[in-house]
Structure 1
Amino acid sequence: MDNLYVIIVTYNGAKWIHKCLNSIYESTITSTILVVDNNSSDNTVQIIKADYPSVILFEYHKNLGFGKANNIGIGYALRHQADYVYLLNQDAWVEPDTFDTLIKIQKSNTQYGVLSPMQLNAPKDKLDDYFAALSIGKNKDNILSDIYLQKCKEVYEVDFVMAAHWLISKECLMNTGGFSPVFYHYGEDNNFLHRIHFHGYKSGVCPYLIAVHDREDRKRKPNEIFYLKYTSAFLVDFNNINNTLAKAFIKAYANLIIDEVTCMIKYKSLKPLIYICKSIFVFAKSRHNRKTTQNKGPVFLEITE
């Protein structure tokens, strides 16, 4: 039997945590559930302790960010002989057959290091907007045509899929490592997928499987939009090791400057200048990060006892 660890990073997730965890317990296969809490101020931790005593819970007194918190869970899972790790958002949940079928598909398609089900909204009446735009809309094969014509394959290669639902094989983690510490929040999933592609693995979606990502009624705050579009996009471009350093540098800074000047004119705000200045200071750190992530091995993960 495969040893599956489901890792959930929580931060004020009381609204969703019952649906999230209950869906795992209703799965057709047994897994070990590990929650890393990023200093929630609501009753997320209390709910887990009271209602789900079998969950392995790591509590932190500061917000470590999405990537670092997941790295803690991944490292623990690998130390305890995990064959697969499933990264599940706190605002997401799975169907009973999601884990079992994904593992079977991965075993038949071992070149895939990361697999995702089709990610739906909470009512399950349409695809998650970002999933539809960034995964299905930009896939290498025409998955929408195949769905319509009823000739789907069990897995389709995509360049990107959100980390709300990721099955990752042990082999992929041992060769690629965990999330880069350069990314605090946003962009860490792009960077991770760039790296698995560099090391010869594929990322894919499985059209016969569904899961939920409940975020349709939430709008990003202005500061999140600034960070996502400018700082995070810059880091993603610059740290893409599938491009040469020169190409990555030119693309990152060109896009950053063009977008931020446009933003300053459009919104009559000097705030984007802050991100331009910050981007200069992350250059050295990112350059080291690029070199590190080119090495094979579990970088950014502590997997020894």
Structure 2
Amino acid sequence: MKLSVVILNYNVRYFLELCIKSVQAAIVNIDAEIIIVDNNSNDDSVAMLKDKFPEFKLIVNRENLGFSKANNIGVQQAKGEYVCILNPDTVVAEDTFTKILNFAHSKSKLGAVGCQLINGVGDFLPESKRKIPYVKAAFKKILGNAKDYYAENLKPDEVGEVEVLVGAFMFMKRDVFLKVGGFDEDYFMYGEDIDLSYKLLKAGYKNYYFGQTTIIHYKGESTLKNKFYARRFYEAMRIFYKKHFKRNLLFDVFVCFGINLAYFLRKPPERRHKVLNRYVLLSDTKNKNLESHLDAEVVLVNNTNNLQNGDEVIIDTSKYSYKEIISIIKANPKNKQLAFKILPENSKFIIGSDNTIDKGEIIEFN
């Protein structure tokens, strides 16, 4: 088998369904499997998986084991030559895996490969390509200078070596993942992707950013961006420095002080103000059930030329491929303040996210 896609889920049933459908479309011509690990979700994720996707391997944990341990369990049971660690709040294009497989075959000493990530309104996510967060770079980032934190030497659409990739999409050979010990299970959530990227570099492998394919990452749908998230993130940074940069007592105190200072001085992310003008459905046919549920007219259009300021754009996957949907969202003109929802084929919900602070919006209809 060529590829195993490992998706770890925790209480994001609708994002998971959309994600799996996009992955299905992306592995049609690949000898591949999908492995879903559920971390004791209390929504109906498991029931949905058994009903809609019984053909895929499902691992159900009886407790929330965290990101590292649960993904390690999934990779242990994978059969593919390559594995892709994929967040459930992502949407991949039909050619994402094909492109990256072709790229991976051309490289020796391959570590991990990442790709271009955008959020639900088309903004590029700079964590797609990062540098090792040395103490100096981390402090500069706190002060608003991210030059030494993100890999800004590469443009979003370019390809090249980078040091650190994001755990929402990490593609590598399974034997390399296992050889370096997989994700360090001392990390419950956050920081494990930095740690793994760094371990790969120390073992002599090369990590790559492949900006020629783009995926949507709704970013953080499994956890709210509140003070608890911030605390967990900075605790993960503390673990990373302790494991890899521990030098002496004075240095350790300095790092500990800096991490706590970063927590208290952090700037809350800006909330995107949503201006709703009208609902627009990009499709060939109207959806009366959706229109009835929204209790508003849904304007049917078959292209993006007539979008107006403040439109809530609902994109039907029965008309547009996932690659086309990603391109539409990526090309979002910022002056029009558009918001986007995706209508998955054979599903009775629309889904999207307008910012990175709150959980995304799901609208169910009958």
Give me the TM-score of the superposition, normalised by structure 2.
0.62
Corresponding position of 2:13: 14
Partner SS for 1:239: helix
Corresponding position of 2:270: none
Corresponding position of 1:52: 53
- Look at both structures and tell me which one has the larger radius of gyration over its CA atoms: 2
CA distance in 2, matches of 1:83, 1:130: 26
1:202-221 to 2 correspondence within 5 Å?
A: 202-215=206-219, 219-221=224-226
Say which structure is richer in strand. Answer: 2
Partner SS for 2:77: helix
Shift of the alpha carbon at 1:260? Answer: 2.5
Corresponding position of 2:197: 193
Amino acid at match of 1:121: N
Give me the TM-score of the superposition, normalised by structure 1.
0.73
Corresponding position of 1:115: 113
CA distance in 1, matches of 2:119, 2:263: 30
Q: Specify every segment of 5 or more residues in structure 1 that has no aligned partner in the other structure, as ranges.
A: 268-305
CA distance in 2, matches of 1:141, 1:224: 26
Shift of the alpha carbon at 1:214? Answer: 0.8
Root-mean-square deviation (Å): 2.7
Bigger relative contact order, structure 1 or 2 (CA pairs below 8 A, ≥6 apart): 1
CA distance in 1, matches of 2:161, 2:113: 9
Cα distance change of structure 1 residues 263 and 184 upon mapping to structure 2, 3 Å threshold: closer
The question of whether the paired residues in 1 share the 8 Å contact of 2:89 and 2:217 is answered with yes
CA distance in 1, matches of 2:37, 2:220: 24
Identify the range of structure 1 (132-141 vs 32-41) with the bigger mean alpha-carbon deviation. 132-141
CA distance in 2, matches of 1:251, 1:120: 36
CA distance in 2, matches of 1:16, 1:202: 31
Corresponding position of 2:233: 228
Shift of the alpha carbon at 1:194? Answer: 1.2
CA distance in 2, matches of 1:189, 1:8: 15
Number of equivalences: 249
2:88 to 83, 87, 90: 90
Identify the range of structure 1 (164-173 vs 92-101) with the bigger mean alpha-carbon deviation. 164-173
The question of whether the paired residues in 2 share the 8 Å contact of 1:234 and 1:252 is answered with no
2:73 is equivalent to residue 72 of structure 1? yes
CA distance in 1, matches of 2:168, 2:261: 32
Corresponding position of 1:158: 162
Show structure 1 runs of 4+ deviating over 4 A: 132-141, 216-219, 249-252, 261-264
Corresponding position of 1:167: 171
Cα distance change of structure 1 residues 178 and 156 upon mapping to structure 2, 3 Å threshold: same
Identify the range of structure 1 (189-198 vs 168-177) with the bigger mean alpha-carbon deviation. 168-177
Say which structure is richer in helix. Answer: 1
Corresponding position of 2:353: none
CA distance in 1, matches of 2:103, 2:250: 39
CA distance in 2, matches of 1:63, 1:205: 30
Shift of the alpha carbon at 1:11? Answer: 0.4
Cα distance change of structure 1 residues 188 and 253 upon mapping to structure 2, 3 Å threshold: farther
Shift of the alpha carbon at 1:226? Answer: 1.6
Amino acid at match of 2:241: D
The question of whether the paired residues in 2 share the 8 Å contact of 1:141 and 1:157 is answered with no
Shift of the alpha carbon at 1:139? Answer: 5.7
Amino acid at match of 1:142: N
Corresponding position of 1:104: 102
Shift of the alpha carbon at 1:205? Answer: 0.9
Corresponding position of 1:142: 153
Corresponding position of 2:254: 254
The C-alpha deviation readout for 1:132-183, integer Å capped at 9, x for no partner, is 7779965667212x95xxxx4xx31112121101111134224212111211
